[in-house]
Every structure is written in C-alpha cells, then in structure tokens.
Amino acid sequence: MHEPHRPVLLAVDDDDHVLRAVRRDLSRAYRERFRVLASGSPLEAIQLLDTLLQRGEQPALILADQRMPEMTGIAFLAEAARRFPSAKRVLLTAYADTGVAIAAINEVRLDHYLTKPWEPPQERLYPVLDELLADWESGYEPPYQGIRILGHRFAPATHRLRDLLTRHRLPFRFEEAASPDADLPVVVLPEGERLVRPSHGELVTALGLAAELSHPHYDLAIVGGGPAGLAAAVYASSEGMATLLVEAYVPGGQAGTSSRIENYLGFPSGISGVDLTGRAVTQALRFGVDVLAPVEAVALRRAGRACLLRLSDGKEVTAASVLLSTGLSYRSLDADGAGRFEGAGIYYGATTSETESCADRHVWIVGGANSAGQAALHFARNARHVTMVVRSRGLASGMSAYLVDEIEATPNITVRPYTTVVSAEGTERLERITLHDAATGAKSTEEAEYVFTFIGARPRTEWLDGMVSRDQHGFLLTGPDLGPASALPEWDLPRSPLLLETSVPGVFAAGDARANSVKRLASSVGEGAMAVAMIHRYRAES
C-alpha cells in the first residue's frame, strides 16, 4: 500500500560529530511524525530541497549551522526560504556568533537560533522545536495523495474519466491544465504511475478493479448491471448459482446517474443513485458474483442447451441461462451542432462528476420525466438558477406529483413549456443554445454552459438482432407478447415461453429493455428477482 509522505526535518552541518548528534536527537523525539534528513554540505542540501519541491514534499523545519565553508547558514536558510517560505528556520551557532544570529532574525526571517551544545535536549532543544513545529502544523495542509486527473474541464475525454471514477465512488482530485496538450487527460495514481489518455478498461485494470472469470461455465450470465441485473445477481448467487455479471460501463445503469431517488421503498430521506447501486454491487460481490466491467456483450448464440456469450475483450463465456437486462441509452439531443459538445457542455443524465462545476452557474435541464425532475432539484441546491425545457405543456403529464410539487416550491427553478432546443453553438465548449417556443413560434438564443438532457431512451439491444425477438422499437419481447410458441424458430420446448422468457429457451429479459415493462426502479428490481425464480424452473426442466 502506498504510504503518504511525512513532512521533513532537515539538519545541515559540515561537522560530522554535530550532524550525528542533531540527527540522533531529532529522530528520538520526532521520527513518528516526521522524516528526518541530514546533510553535511549546504550545496547538497539545496539539491535535496529541490528534489523535495519536485516531489511535492514539504519540509516542516530546517536547521543549519552558521559556519560552513561552502556557504554560511544564513545564506543557506535564505535559499531554503525561497523554495519553502512556510518552513521553520533555525540557525545553529556558537556563543561567539549570537550577534550574527540576532541580526539574521530580520534578514532571513529566522524563527530561532540555538547555541551549541544544546544538552540536555529535553530542556534546551525539544521545547523550542515543539513550539515551532506546533505553529507550523497549525497551518499545514498535507499534500493530496489520492488519484488525480489532469485535463481540460470541457474536454469530452476528461469528462468521461471523471464520470467513470465518480460512478465507481472513487475520490479523486481534478486539476485544470493550463494549456492545450495532445497527451491529456492524464490520470496520476497514488503510487505515482501516470496513465496518458487511458481507456476505461486500462484505468479499471490499473486501479485493480478488473475481475477475472472464476468459473469455466456459469449457471447464469447477466448482461447489464442496472437495478434488474444487480437484483438478479444478488438473488441468484445467494441461492448458490455460479453467476456472472457483464456491464459495458459501470454497474448501476441509468439509476446510477440519478442525483436523488426519493420514492424507493426503505429510504424515506432519499438516496443517490450512485450510493444505492454501489451498495447493490457490494452485496453481489459478497455473494461471489463475478463482475466484468467495462466489458460489452457483442454476440449471443446457443451451444446445445447452453448459451454462449462473446465479449468485447475477445472472451467467450458459456452459461446454462442468460438474463438480458441491458437497460436503455439516453437519446441524443436533436439540435444542430449538439454532437460537437457532448461531454463539453451537453451531458446525458445527471453526471454527478459535473455537480461541483455547476455551482453558482445557470443549468439547463431538457426533459420532463422523473429523472429530469430529480436532476433539477439536485442542481438547484448549488446552481444560481435551473431552467427546465419541456416539450409538453407542463410537468404533470410525465412526472410524479411529489416531484412536481417540490419543483414548484423551489424558487430558483423555472419551467419553459412547449419549448425545444434547436441548435447549440460555441468554440471549444458549449456557449449558447437556441430555443423554439412552439406556442408562440418565437426563437430565442440563450447563454448556456451546462445542458443536461433526459429526452427518452432506446434499448441497448442492437447486438441481439436476428437472435432474440424484438418489437419495432428494439425492446425485447417476452412471454405472451411473443405469440404462439410454434412460430418461434429457436423454440424447441413443449411449453410456451415463461412470462420473462424471450424467444430463445433459457434466455430471459428484465428491466427497462423488456417490452411493456414498467419503467421504474422498483419494478426493475422486482423483475430481476422474479427472473431468477423462472430460471430455477427452466433449470429443473433441463
């Protein structure tokens, strides 16, 4: 494990006997809190200070002897002050040099001088240094030792990395780059390793989050890590089934992007989507689920009674049953120029990685369903103003009543009905949007830095074309919606498909990607659990 840097105590004296004594006394009293360094040459000590500066390390206190042939102690402490102005500076002197030391208090802002010898240290050394170090520590902020992202705030590649770490609930510090650089963004790990423009897979692997397949064959392979997939994973694995969960991005699905969920059973004060789905992932892992992410399923076929999944990383996985819980993708904003600013001012879902950036800014929300309402209330806590752009005449037709009431009671939220975004403009990032009011026919151009869109979604099922029956919109057909079993080319069982079973025996569907499902978090969780019961029945038949 990476050990954080401790602040440094540096002693400089060309007399080996004195240097050993001061290092010994400093180590005895302070080695638990500080790293004690010593040098017999002021020139070498300056190089050491430069190294500390480059590494981002901080000296708390510097002691230097006055009479050194290469450089006087006062001259050395002046050089040290230019590099580390907050470090405490102590001059070691002989009795004959006390006048010089007193003059240096003003000359190099000397904090104290000590005459040699300082025995006993308990009386003549430690009380002085204790007071100086206590004063230094009162204003000291330890250097950040966690994950850092260096990049441009409005660069799509930087946004994606910030969002990935946020969704994984990994704390990080974002540092804005001063100038354009083709090698940005860069992720700096706590151990110092630098990842230049890493892919999601490379970053997850470097952070030790990538999982390996622990079974040659699974009882259940789940494609999609949203609420339905996570619920199925927990129930199946807790009942002894070898379970694999494959997720193309970060487990949690669209629910993981929700800023606040207030109508889910058991959380009267609400809970963020990241926290809720993060708990579900932890629960699944505790029961032994193998979670592969970010990995996509790219093909599905039958192999006898088993199913074979081909993954984007080249692996092939066999499973007795498959649950398709692929969820939905937000539809792109249908406005001229919008594609240029995806991740650079236009975002899909309430990306919590941008919450801090929106403080005291004007935020635009496009859409009028529950997810849009939750996002509006979330951003209204810190944004200067939030404007909701709604195609219909108001919020009541597509949003839960409790959200409508909260929005109406929030003074810094405005709703613009009958309105759509028709164009987006800017240079390197979004700067303006043009709105069309269908009620009046008028167009207006507004300044806009942050636009979050919630305008419907499509199922992630294109990769299943030709294998599993879908409706005209791409949603997965199951149970009675499939029609007569005799008309299904892949169906070879003497019974009809079960309620959540697709046109392929042993392949089930749950959640938002299933045709005619209720697009609510609780119903997705319920379908995931119910699918496991049906999978047990299928296994008993096989």
Q: Note the pLDDT tens digit of each residue in 319-334.
A: 999 999 999 888 889 9
Kind of pairing, strands 297-303 and 186-188? unpaired
CB-CB contact of 282 with 230 (8 Å): no
The predicted structure's pLDDT at residue 310: 96
Q: Has residue 2 got a pLDDT over 50?
A: no
Which is nearest to 226 in space by CA: 246, 241, 244, 206?
246
Q: Has residue 181 got a pLDDT over 80?
A: no
Please give the domain boundaries of the chain with CATH numbers for all domains: 8-138 (3.40.50.2300), 147-206 (3.40.30.10), 218-327+458-541 (3.50.50.60), 338-455 (3.50.50.60)
CA dihedral 295, 227, 460, 160 (to 10 degrees): -60
pLDDT tens digits along 471-518: 999 999 999 999 999 899 989 999 999 999 999 999 999 999 999 998
Which is nearest to 291 in space by CA: 224, 236, 238?
224
pLDDT tens digits along 49-87: 999 988 878 899 999 998 899 999 889 999 999 999 999
Which is nearest to 452 in space by CA: 347, 522, 337, 540?
347
pTM of structure: 0.72
CB-CB contact of 345 with 154 (8 Å): yes
pLDDT tens digits along 404-442: 999 999 999 999 999 999 999 999 899 999 999 999 999
Q: Tokens 């949007």 belong to which residue?
A: 433
Q: Has residue 349 got a pLDDT over 90?
A: no
Q: Has residue 353 got a pLDDT over 70?
A: no
Q: 449 falls in which pLDDT band (50, 70, 90)?
A: very high
Say how many C-beta atoms besides its own lie within 10 A of residue 397's C-beta. 11
Q: 96 falls in which pLDDT band (50, 70, 90)?
A: low
Which is nearest to 182 in space by CA: 163, 161, 195, 196?
196
Q: How far apart (Å, rounded) are the C-alpha atoms in residues 476 and 89?
A: 72
